[in-house]
Amino acid sequence: MPFGRALSGTAGQALFRLAGTLLLALIAGLIFGHLGGILIAVLSVYLALQVLNLLRLDRWLRLRRTELPPDINGPWGEVVATVNRIYRRKQFHKARVVRLLREFRRLTAAMPDGAVLLGPNNEIIWFNRHAASWLGLRRKLDFGIRIENLVRDPQFIQYLKDQGSRSSVTIHKPAKGDRWLELHLVTTSASEQKLVIVRDVTREIRVESIRRDFVANASHEIRSPLTVIAGYLDALVEEPQLDALWREPILEMRRQADRMRGIINDLLELSRLEASGTAPSDQSVDVGGMLALLRRDLESQEQRPRRIELKLESTAHLRGSESELHSIFSNLVSNAAKYTPVEGEVEIRWWVDAAGGHVAVRDSGIGIAVEHIPRLTERFYRVDPGRSRKIGGSGLGLAIVKHALQRHDGTLAVESVEGRGSVFTCHFPPERVIHI
């Protein structure tokens, strides 16, 4: 340890000097007599010199920012040099930290995203320029205030409470230039502080809304002429004088018109689900009754798996929209039937446990290869497009299921083994379950 070694060297040097001075005083006393007087005089001068050096050191320590270190030699000079070294090292590190901080501030100010640093109780510690202007935060005034008191969006407050269980939350700020902001909470286990990254997603939201409106409008516009064409085709098929040569092409045209109608209806339903920002209505939906009806509908179909099982393990209802829940379950049940051969089986199950309410539709059909599973809920995604089209699939069924489930705070889980069958399970949180 150099500091300890320097000190002990300095102390040794001081002791050596004191011993030398005393020895000289002793010799002078012995030669000239008056030993006591000479000793006192020499020690007094020695002490005065020490006090003087101490005062010079003290003055320099107080004025070290502006004054050069005092020019003292001997042990006091060593002390001054050591203190000066420590001071200069500290100044160097301080300048480095200040430089880094300035650079960090310049970078965060230039960042296209906003950033807010929060303390353990969500109090604001720091924020950059974008965060200030988008969230309406005021420098200095808002430091130390809890962010929930300034960004009062209920979705954001819930997101903070859940400690970012979702990846991000999007909030609307009509007052601040009508912006849509995406807030993303970053936490680390090493620190109690959190960072909220704020992104302006107004453009994305607008483009998305234009796309949605376009799809909805185009579907509406196509629906009317298609109804007319399908009506004429229906009439033509019934026409007894129709040339036998034309019967098959017209039947095929009618089938395709029906398919188009199915796609347009699904597109319109999907647009409706996506466009509606409000929560679905709060009806008490009898899940058991709804599933029993779906099973009966399926049993009345000509082409269907032979065995259709219904296992109702609860009489509980679900809180939500009857039509949307019907859409979820009917899409899953009709898929199970579509992708399962006649000799296969379908099982529909409803049960409630501590985790919430669950509806599972299991089939022993063709199954799905594992690489397709994450993409099934994308619009128009089909494992085998040719097969899906042939059996009348629009490719939109599972996208509708996903959206309607999201609106009911639910999730979809898919398990499948190719060639063995699949299980599609809808999980609803306990708050949605109404015990009867």
Can you give the binding site for ligand ADP, defined by CB under 6 A? 331, 335-336, 339, 363, 365-368, 376, 381-384, 388, 393-399, 422
Cα torsion at 59, 64, 68, 74 (round to 10°)? 60
The two tokens of residue 151 are: 């960004």
Give the nearest distance from C-beta 268 to ligand ADP in angstroms: 15
What is the amino acid identity at position 272?
R
Name the residue nearer to ligand ADP (CB basis): 295 or 382.
382
Rank residues 392 and 430 by Cβ distance to ligand ADP and give the closer one: 392
The residues that bridge with 362 in the sheet, in sequence order, are: 347, 423
Calpha distance 216→246 (Å, rounded): 34
Q: How far is the CB of 398 from ligand ADP (least distance, A)?
A: 3
Between CA 365 and CA 289 the distance in angstroms is 25
Ranges of H-type helices in 239-286 = 244-275
Residue type for position 90: K
**Tally: H helices and E strands in the chain:** 11, 13
* Minimum distance from residue 401 beta carbon to ligand ADP (Å): 7
Q: Tell me how far apart the alpha carbons of residues 109 and 99 are, in angstroms, rounded to a whole number.
A: 15
Q: Which amino acid is at 370?
A: V
Nearer to ligand ADP, 360 or 433 (CB): 360
Q: Decide whether 115 or 412 has the Cβ nearer to ligand ADP.
A: 412
Of 80 and 361, CB closest to ligand ADP: 361
| Minimum CB–partner distance for residue 339 and ligand ADP (Å) | 3
Parallel, antiparallel, or unpaired for β 114-118 and 283-285? Answer: unpaired
Tokens of 308: 């259709």
Comparison of 327 and 394: residue with beta carbon closer to ligand ADP: 394
Q: Which two tokens stand for residue 37?
A: 């007087």
Residue type, 431: E
| CB of 132 vs ligand ADP, minimal distance in Å | 44
Residue of 326, 323, 288, 296 lying closest to 436 (CA atoms)? 288
- Let me know: does 367 contact 418? Beta carbons within 8 Å: yes
Distances (CA, A) of 293 to 49, 194, 299, 300: 107, 50, 10, 11
Nearer to ligand ADP, 287 or 398 (CB): 398
Nearer to ligand ADP, 248 or 299 (CB): 299
